[in-house]
Amino acid sequence: MIELEGLTKRYGEKLAVNNLTFAVRPGIVTGFLGPNGAGKSTTMRMILGLDRPTAGDVRIDGKHYDRLRDPLTYIGALLEAKAWHPGRSAYNHLLCLAQSNGIPRRRVDEVLETVGLSAVARKKTKGFSMGMGQRLGIAAALLGDPRILMFDEPVNGLDPEGIHWIRTLMKSLAAQGRTVFVSSHLMSEMALTADHLVVIGQGRLLADTSMADFIARNSRSYVRVRSPEREKLLDVLHRAGVTVVEAGGGVLEAGGGEAERIGELAAENRIVLHELSPQQASLEEAFMRLTAESVEYHAHAEAPPAPQRQWGEGWKKGS
């Protein structure tokens, strides 16, 4: 278990992590989600005692990291920075780590096998691809057979096969009863991997919820409607009490479950429809809304889209 209480980190004027309080529990994968610059890596560095908090506290199984004996046997982590010596082989890198942490030599072979690097274990890591580097980092995290594992954006730079492998690994580690804490800036990735979700934006906690709850609250269904007789259709729908909103480009949107009714009303009133299609709003979209106001740098210098859908509580929550 990892417990954060009011954890805060300030870099000069910048509040990178702002009063975070939450717990990461064993037996499940907890996703740590937030846009780039949200404070995920800084939080993870503080958990490992690599960065000193400006305020607040973080404990691993009740203790501070620097009070753990043989810390690699408590918590293993893959952080962003590549910490290995490029002239060393993967085997020697892991052996050094093992020897300085009281971990038996046989674990080196075991973890190399687990991450699929046995065949290249004696080669210098200098020639490793990004994916091989990630695998070596994960091998180091697993070395001490720790009960707690933490991965910072582990799928960055991996091919689809590598991504699938990491996802499966994290789930199996959690199924063994371990605590698994993994960060990502992609909702689509978390949706497939995490059981629980901690969302941050600009260092602040935005959500701490089960994945199932997040999906139930946010993946609203809706119906897209297009008609060349838009005004007439709007009139008919309005009179029948069907709520629609304009989604731009001549498209109208109604709540999910209204498709049949809209079709029947259009037929009764001899209105031509060009489209009547049920849709599922993506979780990525829900995440974007939740974090819209807290995104530090927009890829294109434009404002986040204004909330348009208004028929469900789920949308209001994040907008």
| Distance in angstroms (rounded) separating the CA atoms of residues 159 and 240 | 51
| Distance in angstroms (rounded) separating the CA atoms of residues 124 and 89 | 4
Candidates 11-19, 231-239, 242-250, 268-276: pick the segment binding ligand ADP (CB under 6 A): 11-19
Cβ atoms of residues 147 and 166 within 8 Å: no
- Does the footprint of ligand ADP cover residue 135 (CB under 6 A)? no
Choose, by CB under 6 A, the member of 31, 39, 71, 76 that binds ligand ADP.
Answer: 39
| Distance in angstroms (rounded) separating the CA atoms of residues 140 and 89 | 13
Give the H/E segment covering residue 213.
helix 211-218
Residue keyed to tokens 């973890």? 111
CB of 42 or CB of 125, closer to ligand ADP: 42
- Does the footprint of Mg ion cover residue 202 (CB under 5 A)? no
CB of 7 or CB of 143, closer to ligand ADP: 7
Candidates 9-17, 54-62, 274-282, 308-316: pick the segment binding ligand ADP (CB under 6 A): 9-17
- Does the footprint of ligand ADP cover residue 14 (CB under 6 A)? yes
CB of 40 or CB of 289, closer to Mg ion: 40
Choose, by CB under 6 A, the member of 42, 125, 193, 218 that binds ligand ADP.
Answer: 42
- Residue 284: which of 151, 191, 169 has the closest Cα? 191
- Does the footprint of ligand ADP cover residue 16 (CB under 6 A)? yes
The DSSP call for residue 58 is E
Specify the 3-state DSSP secondary structure of 210. strand
| Residues between 249 and 308 with contacts to ligand ADP, criterion CB under 6 A | 296
Sheet holding 275-280, edge to edge: 244-246, 252-255, 221-226, 275-280
Distant-in-sequence contacts of 247-251, Cβ < 8 A, 24+ apart? 247/308, 250/226, 251/224, 251/225, 251/226, 251/275
- Does the footprint of ligand ADP cover residue 199 (CB under 6 A)? no
Min CB(50)–Mg ion separation in Å:
13
Query: Per the structure block, which two tokens stand in for 295?
Result: 């995104």
Min CB(44)–Mg ion separation in Å:
8
Candidates 35-43, 68-76, 173-181, 281-289: pick the segment binding Mg ion (CB under 5 A): 35-43
CB of 40 or CB of 93, closer to Mg ion: 40
Site string for Mg ion, 40-69 (x = CB under 5 A): xx----------------------------
CB of 40 or CB of 309, closer to ligand ADP: 40
Min CB(207)–ligand ADP separation in Å:
15
Tell me the H-state helices in 21-159.
40-47, 90-99, 106-114, 130-142
For the chain, helix, strand, coil in percent to 5 are: 40, 25, 35
- Does the footprint of ligand ADP cover residue 41 (CB under 6 A)? yes
67 binds, among Mg ion, ligand ADP, none (CB under 5 to 8 A by kind): none
In terms of Cβ atoms closer than 10 Å to its own Cβ (0-12, 13-18, 19+), residue 124 is middle
- Does the footprint of ligand ADP cover residue 47 (CB under 6 A)? no
- Does the footprint of ligand ADP cover residue 194 (CB under 6 A)? no
| Distance in angstroms (rounded) separating the CA atoms of residues 76 and 73 | 7
Query: Per the structure block, which two tokens stand in for 122?
Result: 């004696």
Binding footprint of Mg ion on the chain (CB under 5 A)? 40-41
Binding footprint of ligand ADP on the chain (CB under 6 A)? 11, 14, 16, 34, 36-42, 296
